[in-house]
Amino acid sequence: MYKLPDKRFWSGRVDSEDDVNSYRFHQVVKLSDIDKFTENESVFSIIGFECDEGVRRNKGRLGAASAPNEIRKFLSKLPYNISGKETVDVGNVVCKNRELEIAQKELGFHINKLLNKASTPIILGGGHETLYGHYLGIREFIGQEASLGIINIDAHFDMRDDEIPSSGTMFSQILENDAKAGYLCLGVQEFGNTKALFEKADKYGCKYILEENISSDKYKETFQVIDEYSNRYDYIMLTLCTDSITSSAAPGVSAPSPFGLEQKVVRNLLRYIVSKDNILSFDISEVNPLVDENNKTTRLAAYLIAEVMKDFRGKQS
């Protein structure tokens, strides 16, 4: 189900009413019915996915469905230090009656619509099942013949063999049915995945870098892998599972990671990836406000989204 954007989530401090250099997100963001969204290549389109049915099926901690609107509240207060691009909130897709597959298709439908309007989608999950709806929209937009590289910053491969789709099956769903898609996972943890999942990743030719091999003094090697991977594909899409971040910085997630990536490392990865000229879109998932500590994770999510928007290049920028 599609819900229109709500102005209540966009408010905050006002430093000036007329100096644009003093504006914050809430003073700049526009609200639009997605069906009335006009074509504009200089626009970020924010769309939320109110869903944690995939997390429920994956036996995780529920609460991510409330994240899109909570993230908006913190994003709205940040300075709008983004040059040359407008931001439009087009509302949320809501998963009703636990009908995950229907909600994912609807999210994909709207993402394709936004891309066809030449905007850059910024998707606020939701559980990481958000990624599959995100993918459906991208694939519809680029067609079946274009190659698509998916970059996932995550502690987990999310390649389970469960019969029922969940927040842990998306990449199996994609790779088993899309010969033109590839998968790079950054920050995967040895004790966050079984040996069988590592074997499955190898079987499908996935690229991955372990969490312990990504740090502030190893960027050269990591960036080289990202470069080589990105150059192989016509298009790139990016997803961040917030449980990739150390639990001291991001406690409000479905599956906290005591040995996760430092938040500054994640910020630098995001900055580097979105500077690629073949990237189309970004989603952030698994923020769970219901189990957060003093809004720490939700606030971090807002900052990371702002960083992505500031450095986003992409084919449609």
Q: Which two tokens stand for residue 153?
A: 């910053």
Q: pLDDT per residue over 139-173, tens digit each? A: 999 999 999 999 999 999 999 999 899 999 999 99
Q: What is the pLDDT of residue 317?
A: 41
At 289, the amino acid letter reads P
Q: What is the pLDDT of residue 40?
A: 78
Q: Which two tokens stand for residue 82?
A: 């983004």
> Using CA atoms, how far apart are residues 173 and 208, in angstroms rounded to an integer?
18
Q: pLDDT per residue over 9-19, tens digit each? A: 999 999 999 99
- Beta pairing class for 279-285 and 120-125: parallel
Query: Structural domain boundaries of the chain?
Result: 2-311
Q: Which two tokens stand for residue 38?
A: 């006009």
2-311, what's its fold?
Arginase; Chain A (3.40.800)
Nearest to 274 by CA among 241, 248, 309, 233: 309
Question: Which band of pLDDT confidence, cut at 50, 70 and 90, is reported for residue 42?
Answer: confident
Q: pLDDT per residue over 225-280, tens digit each? A: 999 999 999 999 999 999 999 999 999 999 999 999 999 999 999 999 999 999 99
Question: Exposed, middle or buried: residue 67 (CB in 10 Å: 0-12, 13-18, 19+)?
Answer: buried
Phi first, then psi: give them for residue 19, nearest 5 degrees: -95, 105
> Using CA atoms, how far apart are residues 244 and 287, in angstroms rounded to an integer?
11
- Beta pairing class for 235-241 and 120-125: unpaired
Model-level pTM?
0.96
Phi first, then psi: give them for residue 14, nearest 5 degrees: -120, 115
Question: Which band of pLDDT confidence, cut at 50, 70 and 90, is reported for residue 39?
Answer: confident
Q: Which two tokens stand for residue 296?
A: 């720490």
Which residue do the tokens 């680029």 mark? 142
Alpha carbon of 98 to those of 56, 68, 101, 168, 302: distances in Å?
9, 18, 9, 16, 27
pLDDT higher for 218 or 82? 82
Q: Which two tokens stand for residue 287?
A: 């923020």
Q: For the chain, give the secondary structure using H, E and C.
A: CEECCCHHHCCCCCCCCCCHHHCEHHHHCEECCHHHCCCCCCEEEEEEEECCHHHHHCCCCCCHHHHHHHHHHHHCCCECCCCCCEEEEEEEEECCCCCHHHHHHHHHHHHHHHHHCCCEEEEEECCCCHHHHHHHHHHHHHCCCCCEEEEEECCCCCCCCCCCCCCCCHHHHHHCCCCCEEEEEEEECHHHCCHHHHHHHHHCCCEEEEHHHCCCCCHHHHHHHHHHHHCCCCEEEEEEEHHHEECCCCCCECCCECCCECHHHHHHHHHHHHCCCCEEEEEEECECHHHCCCCHHHHHHHHHHHHHHHHCCCCCC
